């Protein structure tokens, strides 16, 4: 049976995060140090400093490296509270891709690699990048199409290829790069993850893409690797095991997206409810008309069911399960249901909803890519359908 109870310390932490978001983050949502490619690193570091001073930095991070060491159920509560502001995850250092990379490094990296990169990552001192997606019929929903290659040359591997939609590349401290790897005889031995520093010779940020979202520092870039050398000490985990490690990273990361966006959707709903109480039409508050009231009721139901889905998947992960099916189902359902919540909230606001007088318009734009990244809904449904058909 799933345990829905919360330890007292997690309840207390949740309340602290909620107050921090209200007092320190929401007042800075209109800070001018933001543009079409996300908040500046200056703003990020300022927010991180405030979270550090409040004792709230890196709730997901291992205690050994300075984090708060929450399990997934604790993260579900705290991440939702942080997500109430689009800048909240950035402040608490739980934004993607850093949050997922923290989990990956903790589980796969060597002690030396953890000391070099995990420690400053948990401290919020650096940002990290995960380079897997490729353009031009390369790796995406089908990672077997990966074109980026790594070939041995003496004690090094030499990387060549192009990646795109790489979140946070400008200004990152370290990149984790997935490449199809070959041995000395030219045999394909599978994908491998490599650490590559942004100043490595042969690495280039080709361009920063203009996208619908703007909450990730550095935005999303196209990057090239041209004869980039990576020593054996830059291999993350074992050679040829990259796809297996990708699942170590992706399953929990899909779920933490749901946690953060649950907070943002709840914010949009709260704004809509407040407006529905104050705005009058035809002699009464618009929330008392069924057309509006039913939208709010549907929001409440989908927020509740999303929270239950997140909690169930978090519980499965905390029991030591891989939980790929649970997190996949949760990602599809939450990405679509929470998008509907935000859409209804905007509809309740009417003309106000399409202006930036409230944060709902921005949430509406920012949440749309959630149905695409970390696997489009259609790909998850395809995989789930195959599982169904294989059952006895």
Based on its alpha-carbon atoms, the radius of gyration of the chain, rounded to whole angstroms, reads 21
Q: What pLDDT shows up at residue 162? A: 98
Which parts of the chain register pLDDT below 50? none
Fold agreement between 8-122 and 128-239: no
- Hey, where are the domains in the chain? 8-122, 128-239, 243-390
* Separation CA 196–CA 157 (nearest Å): 11
Locus of tokens 């979270």:
51
Q: What's the CATH class of domain 128-239?
A: mainly beta
Burial class of 285 by CB neighbour count within 10 A (0 to 12, 13 to 18, 19+): middle
Q: Which of 118, 217, 231 is nearest to 166 (CA)?
A: 217
Q: What pLDDT shows up at residue 1? A: 61
Locus of tokens 């919540």:
341
The fold adopted by the segment(s) 243-390 is: Butyryl-CoA Dehydrogenase, subunit A; domain 3 (1.20.140)
Q: Under 8 Å CB-to-CB from 56, ≥6 apart: which residues? A: 13, 16, 17, 20, 68, 92
* Separation CA 242–CA 238 (nearest Å): 8
Q: Which of 177, 175, 182, 174 is nearest to 150 (CA)?
A: 182
The fold adopted by the segment(s) 8-122 is: Butyryl-Coa Dehydrogenase, subunit A; domain 1 (1.10.540)
Q: Which of 126, 134, 207 is nearest to 171 (CA)?
A: 126
Specify the pTM: 0.95
């Amino acid at each position: 049976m799933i345990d829905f109870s919360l330890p007292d310390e997690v309840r207390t932490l949740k309340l602290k995060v909620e107050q921090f978001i209200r007092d320190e983050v929401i007042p800075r949502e209109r800070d001018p140090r933001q543009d079409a490619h996300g908040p500046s690193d200056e703003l990020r570091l300022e927010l991180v400093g405030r979270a550090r001073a409040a004792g709230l930095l890196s709730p997901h991070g291992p205690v050994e490296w300075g984090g708060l060491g929450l399990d997934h159920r604790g993260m579900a509560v705290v991440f939702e509270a942080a997500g109430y502001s689009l800048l909240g995850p950035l402040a608490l250092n739980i934004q993607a891709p850093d949050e997922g990379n923290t989990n990956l490094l903790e589980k796969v990296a060597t002690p030396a690699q953890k000391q070099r990169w995990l420690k400053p990552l948990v401290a919020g001192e650096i940002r990290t990048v995960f380079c897997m997606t490729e353009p031009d019929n390369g790796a995406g929903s089908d990672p077997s199409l990966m074109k980026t290659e790594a070939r041995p040359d003496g004690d090094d591997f030499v990387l060549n290829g192009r990646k795109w939609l790489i979140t946070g590349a400008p200004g990152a401290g370290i990149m984790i790069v997935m490449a199809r790897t070959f041995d000395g005889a030219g045999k394909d031995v599978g994908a491998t993850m490599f650490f590559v520093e942004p100043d490595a010779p042969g690495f280039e940020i080709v361009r920063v893409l203009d996208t619908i979202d703007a909450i990730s520092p550095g935005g999303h870039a196209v990057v090239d690797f041209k004869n980039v050398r990576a020593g054996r000490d830059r291999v993350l985990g074992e050679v040829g095991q990259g796809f297996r490690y990708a699942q170590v990273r992706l399953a929990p990361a899909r779920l933490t997206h749901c946690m953060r966006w649950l907070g943002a959707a709840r914010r949009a709903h709260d704004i809509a409810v407040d407006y529905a109480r104050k705005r009058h039409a035809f002699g009464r508050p618009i929330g008392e008309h069924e057309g509006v009231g039913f939208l709010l009721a549907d929001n409440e139901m989908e927020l509740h069911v999303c929270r239950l889905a997140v909690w169930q998947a978090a519980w499965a992960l905390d029991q030591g399960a891989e939980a790929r099916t649970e997190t996949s189902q949760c990602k599809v359902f939450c990405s679509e249901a929470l998008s509907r919540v935000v859409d209804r909230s905007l509809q309740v606001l009417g003309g106000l909803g399409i202006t930036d007088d409230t944060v709902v318009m921005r949430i509406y734009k920012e949440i749309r890519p959630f149905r695409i990244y970390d696997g489009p809904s259609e790909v998850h449904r395809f995989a789930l359908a195959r599982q169904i058909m294989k059952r006895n």
